[in-house]
Copies of this chain bind each other. A is one copy, B any other.
């Protein structure tokens, strides 16, 4: 079995953590008997933008023809390129044009990771955030009127399609069905956002009727965020629109102390297009260049990729190696140690 993977390190610490993911992938390939065909991509980075005036070449889709998945580091270097340009020109473009409509983000409490919440132990928190990833609040639709005057007014439009909302809700119900608790939290804000969110609520009710075994809890995003902190054990699967999912998938990992460890999968479940796997952390300009970034989120993202490519055993082994390293060290500075990015990557590969 050969997996053809596009490798896009991107900006900042994306360039430092990617080699450790590749180190792990090679070790897993040796142990589990598959082959890797890696396509190294220099674009989708702010350096590339500086040189070419755009984030990706015009033929980017052609260049990615035939890849099974994309492994992505991080993008963004606000000192030289504004975030909305670098992101819309790369990551958000992949999500949309490859119809990666599911963004899956787990948050778990691990042994060895200090928890910022009082009195929580490993096992207490284990949630899966299912985020809509292609539409909703992230748009460039709208505009500015009376620009530059006192009367200036800005319209920003959100767009929700039935197809787009239905498929993410249904996917979340399916995930809930596969987990022992069969519990789904639906994030909303229908008491304030008066057109789209009552519609979203009604759609969730309609799809929920097809899954009578799943208990559903609809919560407004304000109190839901509060409960991530106050009652995190309450959550199993959480489904949310693009913006709310973005917030909850940083907040959930924060509550487990693992924001630097969180992986994500941007999935096109039907496999009409390649899926993309990336750490939730960004390019972290503040720590770039010192070889101290924690590579676990990147390595874990690579493991999620293998799982989707059918290499379940390799995925489980990598997650096991991550758990062992989190428990026994070495540790990078974010977890209180002094080990380098490279040392952590080597330890994970060795544990494999």
With a cutoff of 8 Å between Cβ atoms, the chain B residues found around residue A51 in the complex are: none
| B251–A229 CB distance below 8 A | yes
Complex copy number for this chain: 2
Given known contacts A160-B156, A225-B250, A254-B230, A141 and B242 CB-to-CB distance under 8 angstroms = no
Report how far A118 CA is from B119 CA in the complex, Å. 8
Contact of A225 among B76, B140, B254 (CB under 8 A): B254
Report how far A151 CA is from B164 CA in the complex, Å. 10
Report how far A249 CA is from B263 CA in the complex, Å. 28
The interface bits of chain A over 209-230 (1 if a CB of B lies within 8 angstroms of the residue's CB, else 0) are 0000000000001110111011
Range for the number of chain A residues in contact with chain B: 35 or more
| A142–B222 CB distance below 8 A | no
Of the candidate stretches A35-43, A80-88, A285-293, A343-351, the one touching chain B is: A80-88
Given known contacts A155-B157, A158-B155, A163 and B150 CB-to-CB distance under 8 angstroms = yes
Of the candidate stretches A188-196, A295-303, A305-313, the one touching chain B is: A188-196
Report how far A184 CA is from B191 CA in the complex, Å. 29
State how many angstroms separate the Cβ of A84 from the closest Cβ of chain B: 5
With a cutoff of 8 Å between Cβ atoms, the chain B residues found around residue A253 in the complex are: 226
| A195–B142 CB distance below 8 A | yes
Report how far A338 CA is from B247 CA in the complex, Å. 36
> Across the two chains, which residue of chain B brings its CB closest to A280?
B222
| A156–B153 CB distance below 8 A | no
| B118–A83 CB distance below 8 A | no
Interface flag for A161 (CB, 8 Å): yes
> Across the two chains, which residue of chain B brings its CB closest to A282?
B223
Which of A87, A88, A119, A194 has its CB near the most chain B CB atoms (within 10 A)? A194
Contact of A76 among B191, B194, B250 (CB under 8 A): B191
With a cutoff of 8 Å between Cβ atoms, the chain B residues found around residue A126 in the complex are: none
Interface flag for A48 (CB, 8 Å): no
> Across the two chains, which residue of chain B brings its CB closest to A199?
B154
19 contacts between A and B (CB under 8 A): A82-B198, A114-B118, A116-B118, A117-B229, A137-B192, A138-B194, A144-B195, A154-B199, A155-B157, A155-B196, A156-B158, A156-B160, A189-B246, A222-B247, A222-B250, A222-B251, A226-B259, A227-B254, A230-B254
Which residues of A approach B to under 8 Å, CB–CB?
76, 82-84, 87-88, 92, 114-119, 137-144, 149-163, 189-199, 221-223, 225-227, 229-230, 242-243, 246-247, 249-251, 253-255, 257, 259
Query: Which 7 pairs show the lowest CB-CB distances between chains A and B?
Result: A226-B254, A152-B162, A156-B196, A83-B191, A222-B250, A142-B195, A140-B194
